[in-house]
Amino acid sequence: MKKIAMFTMGTRGDVQPYIYLARALNRAGYEAVLGSHPCWKALIEKADVKFVPIGPDIDIEKEAASIRGRFANPAISMLKTMRFVFKIIQSSTHEVYEASKGKDLIIVTHSQMGATEAEVLEIPTVNVTLQTEMIAEKLKPQKWYSKIISNAVGGLIVKPYNKIRKVYGLPMLKSSDELISKDLNLIPISRYVKQPNPYWEQQHVMTGYWHEDEPEYHPDEKLIEFLKRGEKPIILALGAMSFEEKSEKEKLDMFINAFRKTGYRAIIQGFQKTLKDYKLPDTMFACGSVPHSWLFKQGCFVIHHCGFGTAAATMVYGIPSIPVPHVLDQMGFAKQLSDINVAVSPLPARKLSEENIIAAIEDMRRTYDEKKKKAEEISYKVRAEEGLAKAVQLIANVLN
């Protein structure tokens, strides 16, 4: 049995795609192990995936919320968070190295974890890239000044990984492109959402989204009763962005008042600290942790932070959305949704106000029928792509 390892750091959205992939690989007859923060042990093992703890035992979502709360600028917030995660990656290299021993393949996740350790151990690699903007246009004719800019940016990105390479006495890299497998780079995005770039090299393959329904999930009876009492609600699902370092009553008030004034019922995920002492109207329900594969089918539209996984889920399950991006990469995913008309124009988190939320909801109300139809069309197409099955087959081709 071929053994495969992958390692990822970050919030649940940084872990979930690899849970899907590891589970699919196990079903195909491989032995896949997923390494991440100790706080994700229960989540990963509940999915019947072998887990290995990597890095310090911290609450990563709490730490990320703390960093995010100190910086209003989305670019700075993202850079600070990345710097924090990079430090963990650097300090965890020996754990990754040990966990990689004896493996037949390392799947290098979007954080590039495992690339250096695999090189030292002479284990073949397959990469995963979530942001297409990070893939070099190697086949595009380059002007001299473009090369200078590209090398400068690439040097900044690769800097933390060179610190890991120094530990093992490996030569320094000049560009992050050198971390990408020459055999295969998996891009779990649908071609119906974003077209492949003609200037990519042939190893960069768009598979379609990785997703799985959760057939064993049984919703709380109170949630079922709430859904039966009226029309389909708005789903408010800000993911890790709704994880609070402290109570955020003012922020939640904006959404509650906007829902009430526009006449919508709502299901709310997150805001656990705020909701502890918060009385919701009868037209709203706090649901806690519920799989998007079930929850998104219950709503009329979803307001979300536009993390990679949540943005993908809106298309997989055919629900229109109001994107509320908080950091830079989420803005890119939000643009993808609005460009294909399954979402209204993004409402950046820094511009959140009751008035702006109401305006976005009214925009959705006016254009709902066309967006719902488009979302359902996209859902049919992306589900038919069978992205997980395609990814597993491509990985099998590398191993064989």
Let me know: does 321 contact 372? Beta carbons within 8 Å: no
Q: If you average pLDDT over residues 195-221, what whole number do you get?
A: 91
Same domain, 35 and 151: yes
Residue 220 pLDDT > 60: yes
Q: Rounded to 5 degrees, what angle do the CA atoms 134, 351, 274 make?
A: 100
Same domain, 235 and 205: no
**Lowest-confidence region among 41-45, 149-153, 341-345, 355-359:** 149-153
Q: Cite the beta strand spans of 193-244 per DSSP E.
A: 204-206, 234-237
- Expressed as residue numbers, the domain containing 73 is 3-212+385-399
Same domain, 315 and 194: no
Q: If you average pLDDT over residues 21-40, what whole number do you get?
A: 96
Higher pLDDT, 51 or 247: 51
Higher pLDDT, 341 or 289: 341
Residue type, position 182, single letter: K
Same domain, 186 and 104: yes
pLDDT of residue 158: 82
Same domain, 192 and 235: no
Same domain, 254 and 233: yes
Q: If you average pLDDT over residues 349-372, what whole number do you get?
A: 96
What does the alpha-carbon distance between residue 334 and residue 110 come to, in Å, rounded to a whole number?
A: 19
Residue 336 pLDDT > 50: yes
Same domain, 249 and 333: yes
Q: Which residues contact 51 (CB under 8 A, 6 or more apart)?
A: 33, 34, 35, 36, 40, 41, 44, 45
Let me know: does 160 contact 79? Beta carbons within 8 Å: no
Q: If you average pLDDT over residues 43-54, what whole number do you get?
A: 95
Same domain, 229 and 291: yes
Same domain, 159 and 233: no
Q: Cite the beta strand spans of the chain per DSSP E.
A: 3-7, 31-36, 50-53, 105-108, 125-128, 185-187, 204-206, 234-237, 266-269, 284-286, 301-304, 321-323
Residue type, position 173, single letter: L
Higher pLDDT, 244 or 15: 15
Domain count, the chain: 2
Q: pLDDT band at 210, cuts 50/70/90?
A: very high
Q: Which residues contact 252 (CB under 8 A, 6 or more apart)?
A: 268, 271, 274, 275, 278
- In the three-class reduction of DSSP (H, G, I as helix; E, B as strand; rest coil), residue 18 is classed as helix
Whole-Å CA distances, 113 to 27, 107, 142, 153, 179 = 24, 9, 29, 19, 10
Higher pLDDT, 129 or 178: 129
Give helix 387-399 / helix 354-385 axis angle, nearest 10°.
Answer: 50
Rounded to the nearest integer, the mean pLDDT of the chain is 89
Let me know: does 46 contact 137? Beta carbons within 8 Å: no
What does the alpha-carbon distance between residue 11 and residue 41 come to, in Å, rounded to a whole number?
A: 13
Same domain, 104 and 234: no
Higher pLDDT, 77 or 131: 131
How confident is the model over 111-126, as pLDDT tens digits?
Answer: 899 999 999 999 999 9
What does the alpha-carbon distance between residue 338 and residue 375 come to, in Å, rounded to a whole number?
A: 11
Residue type, position 9, single letter: M
Same domain, 82 and 227: no
Let me know: does 150 contact 136? Beta carbons within 8 Å: yes
What does the alpha-carbon distance between residue 7 and residue 98 come to, in Å, rounded to a whole number?
A: 12
Residue 149 pLDDT > 50: no
Q: The pTM is what?
A: 0.89
Residue 308 pLDDT > 50: yes
pLDDT of residue 372: 98
Alpha carbon 306 to its chain centroid, in Å, reads 8
What does the alpha-carbon distance between residue 98 and residue 95 come to, in Å, rounded to a whole number?
A: 5
Same domain, 290 and 395: no
Return the CATH number at 357: 3.40.50.2000
